[in-house]
Amino acid sequence: RCGTMGAMTAPPLASSPGAKPPGPAARTRQLLRDSPLTVAAAVVSTLFFGAQLAVPAVAGTLQRDAGIVGEGQWWRVLTALLVQPSGWGQFAYNTLGLVLVGVVVERWCGRIRWLAVGLAAGLAGAVVTVVLDPSGSGGGSSDVVAGLIGALAVTAWRTGRPPPLPALLYAGHFAVYLTFLAAAGAVAATVAGTVAIALAAAAHRAGRARPPVLGLLAVVVCGAGVMTVLGDDHGIGLLAGLVLALVWGLPAGRMAAVGGGQGAREPRRRS
């Protein structure tokens, strides 16, 4: 099954009545137990960014370059996921999404599915970019994050449970901001992204599951469609996550977790 998280990046530890809440060390241990793949991916991304800062040639050596890829260095479509050529902003935004969304997807859907959708989305986005922009170059883990967001949206829709608020806000902002950035430019994207965060937060505070779940699915599907038509690789990443999550269904061994989450719930109807 796919479940929900209670805390920002890790679920609350079970405790007996009257017990003190778990401290940072206990929460860190649980995060490592529940989401080791996400933690490892974030650590690797951080290490490569540190190497990139120390030796700027690292980014140029590993990033995607359509011309060089065409000459035989096909491995660059994979190594490009490890570097952030645009600098601190790209690193911070992508790593934040990797953690907030990745933790939820790993807990809900398992490590194998996390790895499958992350790699599929990252590679698909890179390959399509190389084909559509033969003179271009770049890199970053945003296509991996996009795939995880696609999987998050479908899983939330199938279970009827919204993701934790931090993951919901990030996923909504990612889909809306990047769609408007591709279609209308930075100013429109900034305004639209801010509105998306406000609406998602309001829907979550309302305490009903359906609005945030359907809203997230709608913006992710629309974003995937618009960006794919415009040739933006993030649309390919979102689309890969959506399709894979629809195909694979829900892991039977994890279905019980949904009911234990702290997401918004639909109120019970009185008979």
* Paired tokens of 240: 């890969």
Phi, psi of 64 (to 5 degrees): -75, 130
Other beta carbons within 10 angstroms of residue 97's beta carbon come to 22
Q: Of 82 and 21, which is predicted with more confidence? A: 82
In the chain the beta strands, taken as DSSP E runs, fall at 64-65, 137-138
Model confidence, pTM: 0.85
Report the distance separating Cα 164 and Cα 75, nearest Å: 36
Tens digit of each residue's pLDDT (9 = 90 or more) over 91-124? 999 999 999 999 999 999 999 999 999 999 999 9
pLDDT at 196 over 90: yes
Q: pLDDT-derived band of residue 130, with 50, 70 and 90 as boundaries?
A: confident
pLDDT for 165 beyond 90: yes
* 269 pLDDT tier (thresholds 50, 70, 90): very low
* Neighbour tally for 107: CB within 10 Å: 22
Mapping DSSP to helix (H, G, I), strand (E, B) and coil, where does residue 6 land?
A: coil
pLDDT number for residue 16: 47
How would residue 254 be classed by pLDDT, with cut points 50, 70 and 90? low
Residues 142/234, Cβ–Cβ less than 8 Å: yes
Pairwise pLDDT comparison (21 vs 243), residue with the higher score: 243
Gap between the Cα atoms of 39 and 6, Å rounded: 17
Res 73: pLDDT = 84
What pLDDT score was predicted for residue 258?
47
Comparing C-alpha atoms, which of 78, 43, 50 is closest to residue 63?
78
- Residues 68 and 76: beta-carbon distance below 8 Å: yes
**d(C-alpha 166, C-alpha 97), whole Å:** 9
Which of 163-172, 188-197, 242-251, 253-262 is predicted with the least confidence, judged by mean pLDDT? 253-262
Residue 214 is predicted with a pLDDT of 95
- pLDDT at position 65 is 82
pLDDT at 191: 98
- pLDDT greater than 70 at residue 255: no
Computed over every residue of the chain, the mean pLDDT equals 85
Q: Is the pLDDT of residue 15 over 80?
A: no
- pLDDT of 67 reads 76
Tens digits of residue pLDDT in 28-76: 778 778 899 999 999 999 999 999 999 999 998 998 887 787 778 888 8
pLDDT of residue 102: 97
Question: What pLDDT is stored for residue 132 in this prediction?
Answer: 80
- Report the percent of the chain where pLDDT is more than 70: 84
User: At 260, is the pLDDT very low, low, confident or very high (cuts 50, 70, 90)?
Assistant: very low
Classify 189 as helix, strand or coil. helix
